[in-house]
Amino acid sequence: MFGKQLGLAVVSLLALHQNLALAQTIVVDGETLPADEVTIAPAEEAVEIPESTTLFPEEVAQLTDSVLANLTELELSNISLFSFDDEEDDENSILEKRTLFGPCKTYPGDLLYPGKLSWDVFKLLLGGRLIKTVPFASVCYDDFGNFDQARCNFISANWINNSYIHIEDPTSINAVLFEGGNCLPQALDPTATNCRVGGLPSYVVDARNVAQVQLAVNFARNLNLRLVVKNTGHDFGAKSTGAGSLSIWTHNFRKVQFFQNHRADGGYRGPAFKVGAGVPAFELYEAAHRHGVTVVGGEGATVGVMGGYILGGGHSPLSGLYGMASDSVLSFEVVLANGRFVTASATKNPDLFWALRGGGGSTYGVVTSVTVKAYPKIHVSTLTFELMTTPTVTADQFWAAIRAFFEGFVEYAVDNANYEYFRLTAMGPGAFYFDMGPWFAPGMTSDELRVLVAPLFARFDAIGVDYSPVFRDFDNYRDAWAASFPLEPWGSNFIRQASRLFPRANWEDEAKLNATFDAIKSTVEEGNYVIAFNIHAAPAAGYPDTAVNSAWRDTVMHCIAAAMWDPAAPEPVIKAASDTLTFDWMQRWRDVSPGAGAYMSESDYIEPDFTQAFWGTKYPRALQLKKKYDPRDVFYAQNAVGSEFWEMSENILGNLPSQNSRLCRKN
């Protein structure tokens, strides 16, 4: 009876899903009903349409007023749970709605938290695409009834070195520390005795079409649930998780479509890709390679391109030529906080278009696809080398060589659009190691690169260090990228990162460069593991005005610091290591770069004055647009625009907001 009605409701939703393969069926009250599934093979290429972008089939399946009207006609109770929010809220009505629910997002166990029936109805409307969270490493424990030693062994062995396995899981995240490490394999957390959902979402919508994203946004907003968005889960700031939340998993928005002669409404004419929000870097690079073009993306193979990366700005080995990845965006398709599905481009919702480029993930809406410019195929040369202290190379010689390298930063990145990715670490008292991998020179041959670095190598020779350079040539970006960036580690509970964008001005004055160099060197001597980029993301040809951190355009070095500890150490020892990172090492970096900033997507979880650090002069407008597009704060993430008005009810190590606690508005 009830089931049949719901079945009709699902069928009514399906009526809209033209062009979709209705592949799956679900069983309700003994009846078999079709479910709205779009079958998408990963990286499958859609049919080519030469001139302009259209919606992907999964974007044609939308929740509309007439679909809701049909559901109401079927007398499906509580359909208001799924309805849009089209009220023009003034301050008073927003406050009234807030008072209705109290200061906190509704949490499991609260009186107003939806009961089983509501979740069941929701699941039916989603065509079955609702997952109750089962943590990735639960197979290592008895708590979820799925203990499996062989699978546990596999996950344990691959946890850190194989991020491919995590991006296939609906809730696995990189930033396990801030979730509380509630379900780590024993191999990573020898003290662990059980597995809990902890700071992971309670439920996940495995979204395959826009209608499902809209239903999730409406359901979360109307019920005051915490809403999170997970793509790959790579975010260092635990932005893609939260206790008691409903999560939208964008992983299966996976199409890539190429346009040889795209006509964008902002005036651009030329090659472009329309890319689903779930596409990871390796797949996009592959597609660009097949079409003989280049597309701007990051270095991590499994990191998403059209999710948190591009929304956060996105730096790239190609930034010297093409700026931030978000500078190449032509349009976004996005589900807003009110549930409506819109386009953001130079002419459609241009203020939203501004905000989505650099304003950050999980802030203004859920993006389902992005259209980006493609560039001509490009020659790339690369260089790798190592420097280290040895019985014949002293620490002084080592640091003199590093200093010589630093002195060239403006020449390499600003004048030559090069990108150098290097690491710097202490191997023991007075023993240091540096590795350059890669020095990436887009548009240059290795002969040209040799000429560029010849003065540096002459200084290395004069200082007396060994470095054994390896030069390579590639006739395309994809091959250069694949050969240069090995897969990077997934998160663990014994590391915390922070970062700083160092401005070019620090290179224009010897005293400032001395201070900058000493600030970095002193932290490495104390155990800081530095991962840094000589990069300049402000090409001479220009770049658009967007929400990207204004500090980025002056930057010549993006420098990441990492503090590590023994996870079995007593808590005060761990806390001291964690606090040293933010309040000692990073303070030295901030002191030598006053008014500069930091890159939100690779940042300190508790960056002081984060709104200034992550957006600089762009913050007031980014916040104004947050209030315009999400007046009821449907979206929240740690360190996102507008998050300064919220707090978690509990902390880890005394000052790290715990994602395994309640999210409440500050009063």
Ligand X SMILES: *[C@@H]1O[C@H](CO)[C@@H](O)[C@H](O)[C@H]1NC(C)=O
Ligand Y SMILES: Cc1cc2nc3c(=O)[nH]c(=O)nc-3n(C[C@H](O)[C@H](O)[C@H](O)COP(=O)(O)OP(=O)(O)OC[C@H]3O[C@@H](n4cnc5c(N)ncnc54)[C@H](O)[C@@H]3O)c2cc1C
Binding site for ligand Y (CB under 6 A): 174, 228-236, 239-240, 250, 277, 298-300, 303-304, 307-309, 311-312, 314-315, 361-362, 366-367, 488, 601-602, 637
Query: Both tokens of residue 358?
Result: 């650099």
Please give the Cα distance from 226 to 648 (Å, whole number). Answer: 12
Q: What type of residue is 482?
A: A
Token output for 201: 């979402």
Q: Closest CB to ligand X among 67 and 334? A: 67
- In the chain, count of helices (H) and strands (E)? 22, 24
522 touching ligand X, by CB under 6 A: no
Name the binder of 602 from ligand Y, ligand X, none, CB < 5-8 A by kind: ligand Y
Q: Name the residue nearer to ligand X (CB basis): 160 or 393.
A: 160
DSSP per-residue string spanning 548-572: S-GGGGGEEEEEEEEEE--TTS-HH
Distance between CA 369 and CA 361 in Å, rounded?
A: 13
The single residue among 39, 54, 66, 93 that binds ligand X, judged by CB under 6 A, is 66
Listed ranges 158-166, 170-178, 498-506, 602-610: which one lies at the site for ligand X (CB under 6 A): 158-166
- By CB under 6 A, the residues from 98 to 117 that bind ligand X are 117
Assigned token pair, 531: 């991962």
Closest CB to ligand X among residues 479, 518 = 518
Which residues lie across from 386 on neighbouring strands?
Answer: 435
Q: Which stretch binds ligand X (CB under 6 A): 144-152, 207-215, 508-516, 571-579?
A: 508-516
Which of 52, 162, 445, 492 binds ligand X (CB under 6 A)? It is 162
Stretch that binds ligand X, among 66-74, 405-413, 439-447, 461-469 (CB under 6 A): 66-74
CA-to-CA distance for 90 and 632, rounded, in angstroms?
11
What whole-number distance in Å separates Cα of residue 387 and Cα of residue 402? 9
Residue 161 interacting entry, from ligand X, ligand Y, none, C-beta within 5 to 8 Å by type: ligand X
| Dihedral sign, Cα of residue 201, residue 204, residue 210, residue 215 | negative
Give residue 325's identity as a one-letter amino acid code: A
Cα–Cα separations (whole angstroms), residue 372 to 305, 362, 535:
11, 20, 21
The one of ligand X, ligand Y, none whose footprint includes residue 514, by CB under 5 to 8 A per kind, is ligand X
Q: Taking the complex as a whole, how short is the minimal distance between the CB of residue 363 and ligand Y, in angstroms?
A: 7
Q: Residue 304 touches which of ligand Y, ligand X, none (CB < 5 to 8 A by kind)? A: ligand Y
- Residue 70 interacts with ligand X (CB under 6 A): yes or no: yes
Strand partners, 503: 555
240 binds, among ligand X, ligand Y, none (CB under 5 to 8 A by kind): ligand Y
Give CA–CA dist 647/659, Å, rounded.
Answer: 10
Nearer of residues 230 and 618 to ligand Y, judged by Cβ: 230
Under the binding rule (CB under 6 A), the answer on residue 204 touching ligand X is no
Query: HSE (CB half, 13 Å, CA atoms) of 177?
Result: 26
Choose the stretch contacting ligand X; rule: CB under 6 A; options: 299-307, 506-514, 636-644, 648-656. Answer: 506-514
The C-alpha atoms of residue 541 and residue 373 are separated, in whole angstroms, by 15
| 161 scored as a contact of ligand X (CB under 6 A) | yes
**Does 514 interact with ligand X (rule: CB under 6 A)?**
yes
| Pick 221 or 262: Cβ nearer ligand X | 221
Question: Angle 281-290/477-484 helices, nearest 10 degrees?
Answer: 150
The whole-angstrom separation of Cα 326 and Cα 316 is 10
361 binds, among ligand X, ligand Y, none (CB under 5 to 8 A by kind): ligand Y
Phi and psi at 441, nearest 5°, equal -120, 85
Please provide the DSSP assignment of 194-214 as one string: ----TTS-SEEEE--SHHHHH
Q: Is 150 exposed, middle or buried (0-12, 13-18, 19+ CB in 10 A)?
A: exposed
Which partner from the list ligand Y, ligand X, none does 538 bind, CB cut-off 5 to 8 Å by kind? Answer: none
CA atoms of 462 and 417, how far apart (whole Å):
27
Backbone angles phi and psi of 458, in degrees to 5: -65, -40
* Cα–Cα nearest to 332, from 309, 313, 315, 356: 356
- 510 binds, options ligand Y, ligand X, none, Cβ within 5 to 8 A by partner type: ligand X
Q: In the complex with ligand Y, which residue's Cβ is closer, 164 or 583? A: 164
Residue 16 interacts, among ligand Y, ligand X, none and using kind-specific CB cut-offs from 5 to 8 Å, with ligand X
- Among 32, 39, 54, 78, which residue sits at the site for ligand X (rule: CB under 6 A)? 78
Q: Is the dihedral of CA 302, 306, 310, 312 positive or negative?
A: negative
Single-letter residue type at 431: A
Q: Which does 303 bind (CB under 5 to 8 A by kind): ligand X, ligand Y, none?
A: ligand Y
Please select the residue that binds ligand X; options are 376, 510, 594, 667, rule is CB under 6 A: 510
298 binds, among ligand Y, ligand X, none (CB under 5 to 8 A by kind): ligand Y
Nearest to 126 by CA among 219, 31, 224, 197: 219
Binding mask 4-23 for ligand X (x = CB under 6 A): --------x--xx-------
Decide which of ligand Y, ligand X, none touches 70; Cβ closer than 5 to 8 Å per partner kind: ligand X
Stretch that binds ligand X, among 65-73, 322-330, 541-549, 578-586 (CB under 6 A): 65-73
Contact status: 67 vs ligand X (CB under 6 A): yes
- Binder of ligand X out of 19, 32, 39, 77 (CB under 6 A): 77
Which residues here bind ligand X, judged by CB under 6 A?
Answer: 12, 15-16, 66-67, 70, 77-78, 117-118, 157-158, 161-162, 510-511, 514
